[in-house]
A and B are shown apart, each in its own frame.
Chain A
Amino acid sequence: MSTETVVDTSEPDVQSSIVNDFSIQIATINGSGSQSSNSVLMRAIFQMGVPVSGKNLFPSNIQGLPTWFTIRASKHSYVARKRDIDMLIAMNPQTAREDVQSLNPGAAVVYEQSLGLDNVRDDLIFYPVPFGELAKEVIHEPRLRKLLANMIYVGVVGHLLSIEREEIQHAISKQFKAKATAVELNVKAIDVGFEYAEKNLKKADALYVKRMDETAGKILIDGNAAGALGAMFAGVTVVTWYPITPSSSLVESLIQYMKEHRIDKETGKATFAVVQAEDELAAIGMVLGAAWAGARSLTSTSGPGISLMSEFAGLGYFAEIPAVIWDIQRVGPSTGLPTRTAQGDILSTYLLSHGDTKHILLFPSSAQECFEFGGTSLDLAERFQTPVFVMSDLDLGMNIWMSDPFAYPEQPIDRGKVLDADALEKVSDWGRYKDVDGDGIPYRTLPGTKHARAAYFTRGSGHNAEAEYTERPDDYVKLIDRLQRKFDTARKHVPAPVIDVEDGAEIGIIAYGSTHWAIVESRDQLRNENDLMASYMRLRALPFNDALEAFVDQYERVYVVEQNHDAQVMQLIKLELAHRPELLKKLHSILNYDGHPIDARSVTEKLLARESERPSA
C-alpha cells in the first residue's frame, strides 16, 4: 500500500480509498484460539461477495510460539500470497515490534493498547485497543477471556473496514454451529469490538470492504480436504498413513468423510479400511500389499516420509504394483522447516529409489485439482500398475482456498488391466509381465482369483515375462526396456499441461502446483504495468509430453518459476530437451525458497530484473 492520504471519514472515498484489495495479517500466539476468529473474519468478507484467501504461517509448536494468519481480500480474485501487509492486528507481545517494523509506510496497525506500539514508528496508522480490558466486560473466566479478546478484534476490524455486522454474526453461527452458548458469547464479543471502535477509533486508513458478487456459489476449502474428497469419490478403499505435518489433515479429513459417507447403510460396516501405520515404511508397504491384492489404496506424507518410502517405491515400480502417495511438500532438507511450504521434493521423488526407477508425478495447483487428481491418481496407478505421487504442498494443502464447488465425477473408475477368472479363461497364454498390447502395460491377476492359471510370483528381483526368477542379461534388458515403454505411454495419459498463449508474447512462463496463483497475478502485473506479454504453460504432471518442447521452441525466453533452490523442474526440462541444445539457452529460473508461499510481486520483479539484463534491453 502506498497511499499517504489520510481519510477522515467512514465512507469510502473514490479517489484514495482501497476497496477489496488488501491483506490483513493477524499476529497471535499459537494455541490462543485465534483460528476461530480468523476464520470468522475471512468468512464474513467472503460472504460479502469479496474473493478471499487465507494463509496460516505457523510454528512447529502446539502452544506458545508466534503465529500469523493472513487474509487477503481481492476484487480481482487473486489468491496468491500478497507480499505487503496493509493492516496488522498485533496481539502477540513477542513479535509485535518486529511485526510493526516490517510494514510498509502507511499501513494500519490494530494493537493491544498496553503494548504501546505507537512510538515504534511514525509513518503508520495506529489503532490502540484495550482488548484485555474489553474482554473482562464480556466474561470473567480468564481462559475464555483470552479467546474472546481475539473475537473482539474481529469486531474492531469489522468496524474499521465496514464489514457488515450481520455477516460476521452469520459467520460465527457457521463457525460454532450448534453450540448456542458459544455463538452468543462470540456475538457479544463482536459487539464489544464494534462499539469500542465506533466510540474511540477515528478511521485513518484507506481500506474498505465493499459488497461484491464474486463469491456466490463458491466454497472455502483446503487442498488436503479436497484431495481426501477426490479419493473418496474415486472409490479409495485402503488408506494408510503416518502422521506428519503438513499431510496429516488429508487422511484426517478422509476419515471424517468416510465415516459419514462410506458406511454401508444396511450393515453399518465400513467399505474401507484406514490404518495408522507405525512409520512411513509400513504405510507404503500396506498400500502396496493392498493394491497387489486389488484395493484402490493410498497414503499421504511429506518429504521425510517420502525418503523413508524409497525402497518400497522401487519395488512398486519394478514389480508393477499400483500405489498412490500424496506428498504434501514442506521445506527440507532433513526436518527442515516443517511448517513452511516448498516444492522441493520433485527431483528426489521423480527418481525415488535405487536403480533405473522413475515415477509418475501429478502437480495439482488448486483445491479443485486436488479433488480431481484424488481420482486421477488412483486411475493412473491402476492403469499403469505403478506408484503415482501427487505433489501438493503445505500452501495448497493446509491453507484455505476459494473454489468453485466440485463436480460429481461422472466417469466410471479405471481399474486397469486386471484379468478375472472369466477373462483368464479366454486367454490361453497369459504371462504376468507380457506386453500384449505394445504399450508396455501387462495384464495382472489378483490373489484370490479362482483359476488354475491365475497365480504368479511377485518379486523385486529379476523376472521374465512369466514372472519367473531370472538373472539373464537379455531378460533384464527386455524388462527395463518395457518399463521404459510403459513410462512413455504414460506421457500421453497423465494430465496434459495447460497452456495460455498471449498473442505477440516473446516470453513464456512455466510453473506448476501452487506457484500457479502467483503466475496468474504476475502476468497481469507484467501486462498492465510493463506492457510485457507472457504466455504460460502450467505443468500438471511428469513425465512431460511433447507440448513442452513446442512451448519452449515458440518463445525467446522461458522462465521456469518454482519454489525450491535447485531449480528442480528446470533441471528435468533440460534433461528432456537435451537433444535440442539451442532450446536450453532460452531457459531461466525464478526461484522462491524462503518457506513463504510465492507471491506475484516477487516473481514480477525477478522476471523484470532478468529481462533488463538482456544485452539488447
Chain B
Amino acid sequence: MATTAPPAAPSKKVNRLGLTQVSYKGKPSTLCKGCGHDSISSQLVKAFYEYGVEPYRVAKLSGIGCSSKTPAYWLSQSHGFNTVHGRMPSVATGSVLANRDLVAVGVSGDGDTASIGIGQFVHLLRRNVPIVYIVENNGVYGLTKGQFSATADLGSKLKTGVVNDLPAIDLCGLAVELGATYVARSFAGDPKQVVTLLKGAFAHNGTAFLDIISPCVTFNNHAGSTKSYTWGKENEELIQEVDFVPFFEDIDIEYEEGETAAVELHDGSHIILKKIKRDYDPTDRRTALELLLDSGEKQQFLTGLIYVDTKKPNLIELLNMVDEPLATLPLDRIRPPQSALLEIMEALR
C-alpha cells in the first residue's frame, strides 16, 4: 500500500514524519500577485510541515470568495471541499461528525463569515466544533470587485473614496463571546506570528479561530484603508510574543516570573507567551473581551493569542460518540439485531 508521500531523498530536509515541505504544497495560486491570502497559504504549508501532520488526515473546507479558493493552493494530498457561500461551518461540522480523526481546516473570508455566513459561524463557535477556522480578512469583497464587507472599519475608505459609515463586526469578539476555545488575531504581513498561531491551533482540540488581516492588493491596499499592508505594518501591536513548542520537543524556556507563561495544549504541545508591554492572561474570558472592546474603541490593531480554554469539551466529546469514525463503522455496529426490531414491534401491537 502506498503511503502519503514517497520517502524523501536523504539530502532533503524532512519533518518528524519523514515528509519534505514540498509534500504540503498545493496548486499554483490564481489570486492577484501579492495577495495576503497567498502569504497565509505559505504559512499553512510551513506550519503543517513543521508540526508534522499526515496530509491524508486533513480535510480542507471553504465557502465562496477569494479566500475560499485558497485550499487548492496548499496540501494537494488532502481532500478539499469548496462549498457554498457562507455555509462552510455546517459542512465542516458534518465532516468531523462523520470522521472524528480528520484534522479539519476551514478557510473563509470576511464576506463569507461576517455577512452571509454569520449564522452558521456563530453556531459553529457555540458548539466548539473541533476545527481550525481561518478568516482571511481584507475588509472587502474581492471577487465582486471591491465592495465593503462587514469587517471594514468605521471611517475607512474604498478606492473610490466612499467612506464606511457602519461599525466593523469584531469576529474575535464574537468568537470569545460565543464559545470558541482558541482565538487569535494576526496579520498576513507577520508570517512568523501566523505560523506560530497556526501550529498552536493544530494542537488545540476545539474551535480554533484565527482572524488574519490579509490585505487585498487590488481593492483595499490604498491610503485610507485600515486593511492595507502599510496600515498593518505601521499599526500592528503585539499583545504578547508567541512561541510554539510541539509535543515532540522538550520545552527549553527560561521562565521569568510574570514575564513568560506557557499554556499546555491538548496534545502536550505548549504555546509560550512572552510579555511585551501589558500583563495579559489569555485564559481569562473577561480579560479577553475587555481587551477587544478597548482596542476596538481605540481602533488599535492588536495581534496575538487573545483567548484560550483547553478544558471545555468539544462537540464530538459532548455527543459521546464512539472512538472510531462513524463513516466506516461496520454493518454489525450500525444495524441493531433482529431481536431489537422484534421488541419494538411487540411494543406497537
Contact = CB atoms under 8 A, between A and B. Distances in A.
B338 A275 contact: no
Contacts of B5: 452
B102 A237 contact: no
Contacts of A312: 84, 87
Interface string B1-34: 1111110000000000000000000000000000
Contact of B97 (A281, A295, A406, A458): A295
Given A237-B327, A262-B334, A460-B82, A294 B55 contact: no
Nearest to A452: B2
A295 B78 contact: no
Interface in A132-155: none
For chain B, the bracket of interface size reads 35 or more
B260 interface: no
Interface in A249-301: 257, 260-262, 264, 267-275, 277-279, 281-297
Contact of B119 (A238, A279, A291, A315): A279
B81 A238 contact: no
A467 to B, nearest CB: 9
Given A272-B326, A451-B1, A237 B348 contact: no
Interface string A199-240: 000000000000000000111110000000100111111101
Given A221-B348, A294-B328, A448-B102, A271 B322 contact: yes
A458 B348 CA distance: 44
A238 B94 contact: yes
A461 B84 CA distance: 10
Contacts of B91: 285-286, 288-289, 292
B253 interface: no
Contacts of B2: 421, 425, 451-453
B336 A261 contact: yes
Given A229-B344, A270-B321, A455-B77, A282 B123 contact: yes
B83 interface: yes
A447 interface: yes
B59 A269 contact: no
Interface string B76-92: 11111111100101111
Given A294-B99, A312-B84, A454-B56, A447 B79 contact: yes
Nearest to B81: A458
B95 A447 contact: yes
A409 B338 CA distance: 9
B268 interface: no
Interface residues of A, number: 78
Nearest to A225: B348
B57 interface: yes
B120 A285 contact: yes
A217 B346 CA distance: 9
B145 interface: no
B57 to A, nearest CB: 6
Contact of A219 (B81, B340, B345): B345
A136 B56 CA distance: 72
A451 B127 CA distance: 31
Interface in B49-74: 54-57, 59, 61, 71-72
Nearest to B72: A457
A286 B1 CA distance: 32
B79 A458 contact: yes
B62 to A, nearest CB: 9
Nearest to A454: B56
A271 B329 contact: yes
A273 B83 CA distance: 22
A448 B72 contact: no
A459 interface: yes
Nearest to B54: A450
Interface in B309-329: 315, 319-323, 325-329
Nearest to B127: A275
B97 A286 contact: yes
A289 B344 contact: no
A437 interface: no
A267 B322 contact: yes
Nearest to B64: A460
A405 interface: yes
A189 B333 CA distance: 47
Contacts of A448: 56-57, 59, 79, 99, 101-102, 325, 327
A226 B81 CA distance: 34
Given A262-B336, A270-B319, A286-B90, A293 B98 contact: yes
Nearest to A311: B84
B94 A288 contact: yes
A270 B318 CA distance: 11
Q: Which 8 pairs from chain A and chain B are nearest by CB?
A: A289-B94, A285-B90, A294-B327, A295-B98, A235-B334, A289-B91, A293-B98, A290-B94
Interface of B: 1-6, 54-57, 59, 61, 71-72, 76-84, 87, 89-99, 101-102, 119-120, 123, 127, 315, 319-323, 325-329, 331, 333-336, 338, 340-342, 344-345, 348-349
21 contacts: A229-B344, A234-B335, A237-B334, A272-B321, A272-B326, A273-B321, A277-B90, A277-B123, A285-B90, A286-B90, A289-B98, A290-B97, A293-B95, A293-B102, A294-B327, A311-B87, A447-B79, A447-B95, A455-B78, A457-B79, A458-B80
Given A268-B320, A273-B321, 5 more contacts: A237-B327, A238-B326, A273-B326, A291-B98, A315-B84
